[in-house]
Amino acid sequence: MQLIAADIEASTGGRLDILVATHEHWDHLAGFSFAKEVFERLHIGEVWVAWTEDMQNPLARQLRENRQQALTALVAATQRMQAANDPRAVELQEVLAFHGEMGAAAMASTAEQMQFVQTLGPVRYCWPGQPPRALPNSPAVQTYVLGPPQDELLLKRSNPRKGQVYEQARPQAFADQEASLRSGGFYAAALSDNMATDAPFNQQFVLPLGSLADSHKQIEHAHFFRDHYGFKGVSEGGPAWRRIDQDWLGAAEHLALDLDSDTNNTSLVLAFELPGGKVLLFPGDAQAGNWLSWADVRWQDGGKSVSGLDLLRRVAVYKVGHHGSHNATLSVQGLELMEREDLVALVPVDEEQARRKRWAMPFGPLYERLQSKTKGRLLRADTGIPARPEGVSASQWQPFLDQVREDTSAERLWVELHITA
């Protein structure tokens, strides 16, 4: 991160017209902590963030409170899993790390990182349908804000439905089950010292574990539970797998993934329109509800009406959402609307690192469709400039090669795409 920040400083002469922070996830904000000194030195004209960061907005304030409640409960649940040697705690820690919680020792949380970003220059809160904004040193380039939507239902709609992406969505029954877990009972139980807060039985039927473990307590049938309920521990041959008192914490896994997706869905989505009509689309990690909202966004620009779908049809450069994951690029209502023959896609992904974390990025069916739509003009952060695909002639491929170059130093920090109007 320090090398990248230093390269940005050198390439820009220490000046950035606009700094955009899309949403509060570790992989989108951690660089501001790792290279804080560099960013503090830069002269930044404006900082752009989504309206969800504006605490004067009642819905933004409510979203932040809900998010903090969920994080606090999930951290508590993870700690309980760790205390019980529950292996699920490891996966929960990985998800919570994206919010700067548990596993990011001595580093600022994502909320603190976002606050730091907003000290680097005048802040502009962006919401869909805002009047288009010209870039400071390129007045002919218009910037449109597509998302995140200001509709709470769409913000919470992270999981796509069947036919909306290049993979079948999870069954609706499973989604309904996840929704039911948001009721608040889990949060109360996770934060409570009383493990029976969310128990299915009346308190009079509960046998306290501490009492059962204490051989000095004379409780009827206590010896049965001591012998068969796992008090000896796995190392002593005790059948710990029989215990169900921690099973309610399994809801934490679904809630953590929900929180992760909901945060992605608050991504600031920008479309840059060049004078000749080409559009460059940067959706951050936007998921289903964010994408679906663009059809209803409209602008009046110089006497003409422009819609979100108009912009999608003219996309010449697509920064692929969420590192090429299965659920962050819609099909019929997204990629299939991109009609230009010269479409180029950019995938910010490190596949080796993703596989190590058991993430399918880039997702196979989506990647194949991107290859087809772009005729091989697919730039990846981890592989650089691609080879000419079969079926594409050298003369057809050359204009693309003329647009790209990559860092040939040992660090291999960047791949560059040059776009003309």
28: helix, strand or coil: helix
Evaluate if residue 137 carries a pLDDT over 70.
Answer: yes
- What whole-number distance in Å separates Cα of residue 252 and Cα of residue 396? 51
Q: What is the DSSP string of 2-15?
A: HHHHHHHHHHHTTE
Q: How confident is the model at residue 169 (pLDDT cuts 50, 70, 90)?
A: very low
Q: Hey, is 149 helix, strand or coil?
A: coil
Q: How far apart are CA 265 and CA 289, in angstroms?
A: 7
Over residues 152-178, mean pLDDT: 69
Q: Given its phi and psi angles, is residue 395 left (phi above 0), alpha (psi -120 to 50 degrees) or beta?
A: alpha
What number is the average pLDDT over the span 65-94?
A: 78
Residues in Cβ contact with 337 at an 8 Å cutoff, skipping those fewer than 6 apart: 309, 312, 313
| β-bridge partners, 43 | 15
Say whether 123 sits in a helix, a strand or coil.
strand
Query: Which tens digits make up the pLDDT trace of 229-254?
Result: 655 544 444 555 555 555 655 666 66
- Both tokens of residue 9? 């400083």
Stretch among 198-202, 261-265, 271-275 having the lowest mean pLDDT: 198-202
**In the prediction, which pLDDT does 106 show?**
46
What's the confidence (pLDDT) of residue 109?
83
Q: What angle do CA 228, 86, 220 make, to 5 degrees?
A: 25
Report how far residue 319's alpha carbon sits from residue 328's, in angstroms, rounded to the nearest whole number.
Answer: 11
H helices of 84-171, in order, are 88-97, 110-117, 152-155
| Position with higher pLDDT, 375 vs 102 | 375
The model's confidence at residue 357, banded by pLDDT at 50, 70 and 90, is confident
Angle at 32 between CA 26 and CA 35, to 5 degrees: 125
The reported pLDDT for the residue numbered 358 is 78
Band the pLDDT of 196: cuts 50, 70, 90.
very low
In 3D space, the residue among 358, 353, 383, 58 whose CA is nearest the CA of residue 367 turns out to be 383
Burial letters 227-236, b for 16+ CB under 10 A, else e: eebbbeeeee
Average pLDDT on 63-72 reads 82
The per-residue pLDDT for 173 is 41
Query: Is residue 369's pLDDT more than 70?
Result: yes
Confidence band, pLDDT 50/70/90 cuts, at residue 71: confident
Determine the Cα angle at 386 with ends 380 and 387, to 5°. 165
Predicted pLDDT at 220? 62
Between residues 203 and 314, which one has the greater pLDDT? 314
Q: What percent of the chain is predicted at pLDDT more than 70?
A: 75
Residue among 166, 170, 118 at smallest CA distance from 370 = 166
Average pLDDT score over residue span 45-58: 95
Residue 226 Ramachandran class (φ > 0 left, ψ -120 to 50 alpha, else beta):
alpha
For CA atoms 54, 59, 63, 69, the dihedral sign is: positive
Query: Which one has a higher pLDDT value, 344 or 111?
Result: 344
Instruction: Look at residue 366 and tell me whether its pLDDT is greater than 70.
Output: yes
Tell me 120's DSSP state.
S
Give me the mean pLDDT over the 87-112 stretch. Answer: 70
What's the chain's average pLDDT? 82
Contact predicate 380/349, CB 8 Å: yes
Instruction: Give pLDDT, residue 174.
Output: 41
- List the structure tokens of 172: 């609706």
Res. 317: pLDDT tops 60: yes
Token duo for residue 147: 């998302």
